[in-house]
Structures are given as structure tokens and as C-alpha cells.
Structure 1
Amino acid sequence: MAEEVNFIINTKVEISWSDGYYKSNIEDVRENYIAISIPTKEGQYIPLRVGEQLEVFYYPNNEDIYKFSSIVLGREVDRIPMILLGMPSSIMKVQRRKFVRVPIVCDINCSIIDKALINKDYTVEANRSKETLKATLLDLSGGGMRVRFNKDIKLKEIIVSYIPIDSDEIVIMGEVVRVDKDKDSKCICGINFMGLTEKTRDKIIRFIFQLMRSQMRKV
């Protein structure tokens, strides 16, 4: 559901990138763009180019999280260097429990699905008969995941993934919303889930929190 949101100077945003989330702040708001500080993560900067499409998370306060897509319009220097992002056409509110994301590296099987074959309930008949791609799951949340593929994947392609959770396997459909290349020229794809039932989402979230507790014990 699209939301009406006012952008506020000096509030936090994060940019989703192939290796995680880069922090930034809103420095200026104009009619056609939002100016943000250079996004950073552990002292590293993103090499943003004009025309680059970004997935942005916006934190107007301590309670709410919003997500939107935007395009880099250019750079500007006032007091500090800034990135100019196009004003988004739509903004979605994110439930915090869907947003929790945990690193997990495991092998999964995926299939690229023709949109014309997708049923209204987001199922695909005989989808196991499609070409199976070997891929690596990199992180997982209740709303999406990052996956590394050995072949080129395009934006907006529909991916069905078979993910092992505990002693079970869940089948998830999602749309590719971001594509980057790692140092080995493999595709790192951000995938947003489609048609996920609450039962399946709850199963994913329980699994995520199990992983988080396990990782905390190892620290």
C-alpha cells in the first residue's frame, strides 16, 4: 500500500547495496529531488553513478520505516558533498518484523518464471520442470533476500526459489529489484517476495530469529 510521506531534513536513510546497507542523512528536500549525504558503511563509500537505481529505506522517527525506489540524478556540493535522488513516485511502509535481515550463506535452487505462467494466487504449475539454476543465498528477511547467481539475471525477472529451512523446504516467488556484480562478475540480486502467505512469512521469521540467537551465542 502506497503511503503519503513528508521527507524531513536531518533524518536517516539507508541505501541497500550488494554488500549490505549504507547509512546517510537527508540534507535538503526540493520539489523534484532529495539531497542526501554520501552513503557510507564502515568507512566505505558507494560508487554511485547518474542513472543508478536505488532501493532506499527512510526512518522519519524511531517507530516507522518506509521503503522506496529512486534514481541518482547527480551530485551537488553545498556544505558537504551530496547525492541527488529523484523524488519517488510511491513509498511503502515496512513492518519491522519483515525488515530484520540476517546473513546466511547456503546453496539453493531457483527457476526463472515467465510472468504469463503465474496464477492469481502466485503459484506456477509444474514450476519444477523449468530450468533449475544453482545459486547461493546471502541473506534473508521476512520480505526479501539477496542471492548470488552464476548467470546474468535481469531486473524485474520473477524467480522461484527453493530454500531449505530446518528439515523442510519452502518455495518462494519473488521479483528481482536490484542487480549488481561482485568481484568475480557474478550477479548479486536483491529479490522482493511476492504473494507470501503469513504462515510462510512467520516460518521464515522464526528461522531468522533462530539464526540470530545462534550467531549471538558464537560472539
Structure 2
Amino acid sequence: MSDFIEKVLSRNVLYTNMPLDLEIDEGYFKGSYKSILYEFDQKIYIAKIGLPIHKGAYLKIPDGTKLKVRAYSKNAVYIFKSTVYSMGKEGKVRYLIISLPEIIYRIQRRRYARIPIAEEGYFYLKKDLESSKNEVSEKYRFMSKDFSAGGMAIVTKKKLELGQKILINLNLKNEIILENFEAEVVRDIGKTPLGDYTYGIKFISVDKRFEETFVKFVFKYERQSINGIL
């Protein structure tokens, strides 16, 4: 993996409203849960985070529970060990108080790290869909080769041109579902031994919400490469 790993001061890189993943390795609450960083105290190194919800109910995680925490920014993932100190409530907001190390690990991502992933999908030519009006546009099958937050490589029987716009439809592990997601052909990689075409495509107009979702998806499937850090 080409990502760069370094130690950093938590107070310099963490900020409020960062999305978090909490991992519990043992006991009744074993699993991975989503949370958010509400606030943290730089003097005594504790943080207030959102109480995780599982199947529609708050998880009352006991004091002393050990956590592995991943915090996500646009270009990096921060990981550290933590311990649950207490649980609280302010108005309708429920939260956990956890320990926050002074030193944490930053995994500085190259722009749009790629993971190999093979999933079948289909695409439309954007110009066909726009000109067809009420007619049914032809769709073309493809197989993905890799995926990143910025684009992917696909294999298809359809010959495409550089700069051509297509609308991607793809289900990635039931975690990311792309429906008529606009992309542009940016690289002709060549032909397969069976004569199919391989192209690099770039996603167009990826907003912050989608980009964070894509980055988290990619990191999840790279996680085995970095588990030895914690």
C-alpha cells in the first residue's frame, strides 16, 4: 500500500464533526459502529463523541470498554486506541466520553488510493440518454477492475472514446450504489486477451459527501494492511 503513515499530535489534526468508526474487538458489543466527534479537550485529552446507534437503538457501551477509533478527513485517516470513560446526555444528544491520546497515527492518503474490486455493472452513453427522450436507451455491461474515490477502471465490449461521458450504474458490496453517476473516459488502457476494452474513467462533480463515503469504502477494504499498527 502506498499510503504514508506517520505519528502526529491529535490536537493539531482532529476537529469537531469528524466522522468516526469505532471498533470493539471483544465482548457483547463486538463490532464496528459509526459515530461523530463532538468536541475534545486538548489539556486533559478526552473527547466527547456521539453515542453509536445500532438497529435503531442507542448502544449503552460500558465504562472501560476498549476501542479502536478511525477518524476521517478528506485526505487522511487517523487511527488510535481509546477507552470509554462514561456516557452522558445533554438535551436530546447522547454521547460517550473517551480517552484521546496525545499522539495518534495519520495515514496520509495519496490522492484517491485504488483497491482492486470486480463487480458487474452497466452504463449509458450520456448523449444517448439525453437525446432519447421517451425512448429506451441502450445500456452496456462492464466489469470493474479497481475503484477509488476519483474513478475506476472498467472492462467492456463497448468501444469508447477519450472524453466521452457515460452514466455509471453499479452496486459495490451493497455499500455504495451508483445510479446514473456521471463519469468521463480519461484513459485507454488497452484490450484484454479476449478482445474487450479496458478504460480508466473519472467521476465528475463528486461532492464532499460522496467523496467521504468513497474514501471510507476504500479504506475499509485496505484495513487488513494496517491492522498491525494498533
TM-score range, shorter chain: 0.3 to 0.5
Give the TM-score of the pair, scaled to structure 2: 0.44
Give the TM-score of the pair, scaled to structure 1: 0.46
Larger radius of gyration: 2
